[in-house]
Structure 1
């Protein structure tokens, strides 16, 4: 599996929750080093630059990510929030978030990992208490556990992304049809 960060969920908190890939089988952790966490913060557009993270920041990020994923799952399934996950997200949301600054060149966001995590926690609070809750869907690929916001007409979107999952499923279905199709004589 490649290490490129993917942003297909239509919401930063959902993309963050998706950094542990393939939760049902061979779990694939994206935050294997502090540098990978820093890269995610920058690639997501959350910050322009981040003070280099440490191992403690990675542990805090994984804890927050898992709490967000738990709460998203609870909300998506219409269940009551798990109390421990709720406490983790709310505690992170209380911390100082990233703060944009105006420079001669325009807007600039420099932050620490804890500030970035506080911002993600606040975004999760807004998502899970806002109008997009009914639009949250899990990817139709049985191997994928990404949850995304379905803004398609008629809410017909089936996959987190065509590149990541849709094409794989469509190609597999095509191969299966070809394999079972009667041979033309």
Structure 2
């Protein structure tokens, strides 16, 4: 299984919303195929197994994801929720979520696509109605549009993650400084 999904936002709902990358520039869809949606649900840790997605499941998931992103953005900016996005999220959250089961070897959660999506939607409801709203920030990388929860001391975190964006920005700044320094004649 290809594991290139990134979970740096501090909430499954935020990580889910971030699966459409670089929204302002060259958009990159992480759910390009049904198996990528399956992989996200498992890699997120919300489920251990999920029924194989069909294209209709991808369409449903991306529709809910866009509603979640719109609602997160509204909450972060202090604006009103869009009624259509709100209805879309609540519809997904009303479905039965994935139910963990106890097995001889521990916890195991198998889900249908709709149960997995409901689980994400319920995380979004909790996030958007909870105490972390003031901690929501958008990544400082101009090419990145991930929103994350900044729990750093003094709320000084600037990037969604050091590996994904922080190192890139720092390396680019270093290269820019090196280009502007004039070698000393000596």
Q: TM-score range by the shorter chain?
A: over 0.9
Which residue of 1 is the match for residue 65 of structure 2?
65
State the SS of the aligned residue for 1:160: coil
Q: What are the Cα deviations for residues 116-141 of structure 1, in whole angstroms up to 9, with x where unaligned? A: 11011110000000000000000000
Q: What are the Cα deviations for residues 32-64 of structure 1, in whole angstroms up to 9, with x where unaligned? A: 111110000000001001111111110000000
For residues 110 and 151 of structure 1, what CA distance do their matches in structure 2 show?
31
State the SS of the aligned residue for 1:137: strand
8 Å contact kept, 2:99–2:110? yes
Which residue of 2 is the match for residue 93 of structure 1?
93
Which residue of 2 is the match for residue 176 of structure 1?
176
State the SS of the aligned residue for 2:142: coil
Paired positions, count: 184
TM-score between both structures, scaled by the size of structure 2: 0.97
Alignment of 1:13-32 (within 5 A): 13-32=13-32
TM-score between both structures, scaled by the size of structure 1: 0.97
Q: What are the Cα deviations for residues 88-119 of structure 1, in whole angstroms up to 9, with x where unaligned? A: 00111100100000111111000011001101
- Check if 1:134 corresponds to 2:157: no
For residues 168 and 102 of structure 1, what CA distance do their matches in structure 2 show?
42
Which residue of 1 is the match for residue 36 of structure 2?
36
For residues 96 and 53 of structure 1, what CA distance do their matches in structure 2 show?
17
Q: What are the Cα deviations for residues 128-172 of structure 1, in whole angstroms up to 9, with x where unaligned? A: 000000000000000000000001000000000011100000000
8 Å contact kept, 2:3–2:43? no
Deviation of 1:181 (Å)? 1.4
For residues 3 and 184 of structure 2, what CA distance do their matches in structure 1 show?
43
Deviation of 1:182 (Å)? 2.5
8 Å contact kept, 1:3–1:30? no
For residues 162 and 105 of structure 1, what CA distance do their matches in structure 2 show?
35
Which residue of 2 is the match for residue 154 of structure 1?
154
Deviation of 1:3 (Å)? 7.1
Deviation of 1:183 (Å)? 2.0
- Check if 1:121 corresponds to 2:121: yes
For residues 170 and 103 of structure 1, what CA distance do their matches in structure 2 show?
46
8 Å contact kept, 2:3–2:39? no
State the SS of the aligned residue for 1:151: coil
State the SS of the aligned residue for 1:64: helix
- Check if 1:48 corresponds to 2:36: no
